[in-house]
A and B are shown apart, each in its own frame.
Chain A
Amino acid sequence: MRKNGVNMIKISAKNVDVFYGKKQALFNINLDIEENQVTALIGPSGCGKSTFLRCLNRMNDVIDICKVQGEIVINDFNINDKGCDVVRLREKIGMVFQKPNPFPKTLYENISYGPTIHGMAQSKQEMDEIVETSLKKAALWEEVKDRLHEPGTGLSGGQQQRLCIARAISVQPEVILMDEPCSALDPIATAQIEELIDELKKEHTIIIVTHSMAQAARVSQRTGFFHLGELIEHGSTDKIFKNPDNIKTQDYITGRFG
């Protein structure tokens, strides 16, 4: 994982421009994401953090008017190439959304859906194992092990979000994208998720969008600051928060705008 004391690069975005129709939302983004680190994307609302995140698993494909240009290289492969299969890509790159969105099905079915469509379990027993490990990794197992066959929508908000995380890790993705995963949660649930993120980074590369600077400082090792569609500055979280190069970053960090 470490080569000459430097972390391996997992994702590398090169000259990424994004347009919604005629409106340009991202301008020439160049950003390297390091493996097994938590990278936080911060910036004022509407600056394009979510848009960038959605480029990484090609979720922007869903939006008709959205056009993505530039290269995004994951494992030496440009995912914006015509030959890229989005199904395989999204199997490798999981996503957790702002609002918990479990399927209106049972807890078990929520977790087993991904492994089922990707043919990851040969037997019921294997599937049971996947469900159990995923829930354990998401720190939800103890709370729900007795009601796996109840609807996932019956859980509390924080539990639902952990269920969504468990669902995302059920297919053992290399990267997990999180778009403000705690913005709909109370402080206690937020603390649980943050703890979880720290645990998950051992096996996954994590990119988290957050509007809370405190959260970025707590959970991430790397931080990128976006402003009006541009990546103003990126680097180690320590540096960004203590000693940013750019005056805009400084202003944002110190709460002068945002």
Chain B
Amino acid sequence: MNKNKEKLLAKRYSSEKRFQFLGKSAIFMALLFLAIFIFKIFSTGYTAFQKTWLIVPVNFDAETMYLDANPSKEDLEDADYFEISLQSMFNLDKNANEKQQNELKKMVSYFFEREIKQELINDPSLLGKTKDVYITASDDLDQVFKGNYPRDLPENQRRVTDYQLKIFDQLVEQGKVESKFNLSFFTYPDSREAELAGIASSFMGSIFSILVCLAIAFPVAVLAAIYLEEFAPKNRFTDFIEVNINNLAAVPSIVFGLLGLGILLAVFQLPRSTPLVGGITLSLMTLPTIIIACRASLKAVPPSIREAALAMGASRMQTTMHHTVPLSMPGTLSGTIIGLAQALGETAPLILIGMVAFVNTIPGSPMDPAASLPVQIYIWAESAERGFVEKVSACIMVLLGFLIVMNLFAQIIRHKFEKKWS
């Protein structure tokens, strides 16, 4: 009898130990995957925040630009910079033949003319002088400088020629290649050229989409939740609605994309590829999340508070608006933020409503075409150029940062403002 008991005890201990071990290893696995993921993203992505510049002497020769000695501002704007830009690149190797000159030109981004123009417009006194100008290197050289480019491949399998590498190495030796913080990654819209591509258009697209989503989903969801929780009679019909709200929360997001495509674009003829349509589509997804969060936090307000207000002669409306709703707001808000964070990471419905189009302008309003951060990741991940690889990771980092900030905010609201009822 006693022995049996001891056996059972030993069994209980060992099963508990086994369970703890399994639990711990599960957590360890999860953390390991997370660490690998983050390491991968950061190690490939951090270089995108640096950009490689070639320092090239430019001769701002008035004659070549068809300018007189004292040009007006308009003259400077209209002048022809192509020739001097080209010349400065050719001057890197005075003995270059025509083919090599063409290769020299391709060592920098096609923006080089604009960069040189900007230099003169910022300082018109440069006219007639020669100055070292920072010019964005081509994406391939950028990758070479960052050490991401396989130089030992045979030349015909590389986009960078041996000649370009030779000149580039000379420039490096002379200290004429510099790596600086890549501000344009944040301020430029998307581009076909990796060295010029930035997240400004998709970032703004995401912001506008989220704002539209918030502006639609929040009021509708909160009103629906308040009505259902505080005013609606409890009957079969409201039960049916409740079940369907929960169902709505489980609908795959791509279905909402189809809805946006079929109704917002086809029937209402709203402008395609815009954050307006994206935001409306996302709001359908966010709606049930906010309704559920709001109802849960309304439910958490103790009935004694409602009774207290009613017994003071407050109407049902006053009780709700003065007491219940304010007390439920922290929970509702943190639920809203989490819903928005989900919407922010949503890709499929946005692709369906056309926010996957190539947009090389920064949207100024929700009515302008735009991409969004997750869609931008998708677009870049599809691109062949090596320069986009690091951009994908960098864009993921920005998106993750955004999400972390939002979730942190939700946590803070929850912990700081939510009343504890004990």
Contact of A101 among B308, B314, B315 (CB under 8 A): B308
Residues of A within 8 Å of B147, CB to CB, are none
- Say yes or no: A117 contacts B307, CB within 8 Å: no
Q: How far is the CA of A86 from the CA of B314 in the complex (A)?
A: 9
A67-121: which residues lie under 8 A (CB-CB) from chain B?
86-91, 94-95, 97, 99, 101-104, 113-114, 117-118
Tally of contact residues, B, Cβ under 8 A: 20
- Say yes or no: B305 contacts A101, CB within 8 Å: yes
Q: Which of A57-65, A125-133, A193-201, A240-248 contacts B (4 or more CB under 8 A)?
A: A57-65
> When A103-B323, A104-B419 are in contact, do A114 and B307 touch as well, CB less than 8 Å?
no
Residues of B within 8 Å of A89, CB to CB, are 313
- Say yes or no: A164 contacts B313, CB within 8 Å: no
- CB of B310 closer than 8 Å to a CB of A: yes
- Say yes or no: B310 contacts A171, CB within 8 Å: no
- Say yes or no: A97 contacts B309, CB within 8 Å: no
Q: How far is the CA of A167 from the CA of B318 in the complex (A)?
A: 17
B297-329: which residues lie under 8 A (CB-CB) from chain A?
302, 304-315, 318, 322-323, 327
Q: What does DSSP make chain B's interface, helix, strand, loop or mixed? A: helix
Residues of B within 8 Å of A62, CB to CB, are 306-307, 310
Residues of A within 8 Å of B233, CB to CB, are 64
Residues of B within 8 Å of A59, CB to CB, are 307, 310-311
- CB of B234 closer than 8 Å to a CB of A: yes
> When A64-B234, A88-B313, A91-B313 are in contact, do A103 and B307 touch as well, CB less than 8 Å?
no
In whole Å, how far is A242's beta carbon from the nearest beta carbon of chain B? 35
Residues of B within 8 Å of A117, CB to CB, are 312-314, 318, 322
Contact of A90 among B234, B306, B311, B419 (CB under 8 A): B311
- Say yes or no: B308 contacts A97, CB within 8 Å: yes
Q: How far is the CA of A14 from the CA of B313 in the complex (A)?
A: 24
In whole Å, how far is A170's beta carbon from the nearest beta carbon of chain B? 8
- Say yes or no: B312 contacts A171, CB within 8 Å: yes
Q: How far is the CA of A62 from the CA of B313 in the complex (A)?
A: 13
- Say yes or no: A101 contacts B313, CB within 8 Å: no
- Say yes or no: A97 contacts B307, CB within 8 Å: yes
In whole Å, how far is A225's beta carbon from the nearest beta carbon of chain B? 25
Contact of A87 among B234, B302, B306, B315 (CB under 8 A): B315
- Say yes or no: A104 contacts B307, CB within 8 Å: no
Contact of B311 among A64, A95, A99 (CB under 8 A): A95
- Say yes or no: A114 contacts B305, CB within 8 Å: no
A101 to chain B: closest residue by CB: B304
In whole Å, how far is B134's beta carbon from the nearest beta carbon of chain A? 60
- Say yes or no: B315 contacts A103, CB within 8 Å: no
B259-318: which residues lie under 8 A (CB-CB) from chain A?
302, 304-315, 318
Residues of B within 8 Å of A103, CB to CB, are 305, 308-309, 323
- Say yes or no: B312 contacts A113, CB within 8 Å: yes
Q: How far is the CA of A86 from the CA of B319 in the complex (A)?
A: 13
Contact of A114 among B306, B312, B323 (CB under 8 A): B312
Residues of A within 8 Å of B309, CB to CB, are 103, 113
Q: How far is the CA of A64 from the CA of B230 in the complex (A)?
A: 12
- Say yes or no: A90 contacts B304, CB within 8 Å: no
16 pairs, A vs B, C-beta closer than 8 Å: A59-B310, A86-B313, A87-B315, A88-B313, A90-B310, A91-B313, A97-B311, A102-B308, A103-B305, A104-B327, A104-B419, A117-B314, A117-B322, A118-B313, A168-B312, A171-B313
Query: With contacts A167-B308, A168-B311 known, what are 11 further pairs, Cβ within 8 A?
Result: A59-B310, A62-B306, A87-B315, A90-B312, A90-B313, A91-B313, A101-B307, A114-B312, A117-B313, A118-B313, A171-B313
Chain A positions within 8 Å of B, measured between CB atoms, are: 57, 59, 62, 64, 86-91, 94-95, 97, 99, 101-104, 113-114, 117-118, 164, 167-168, 171
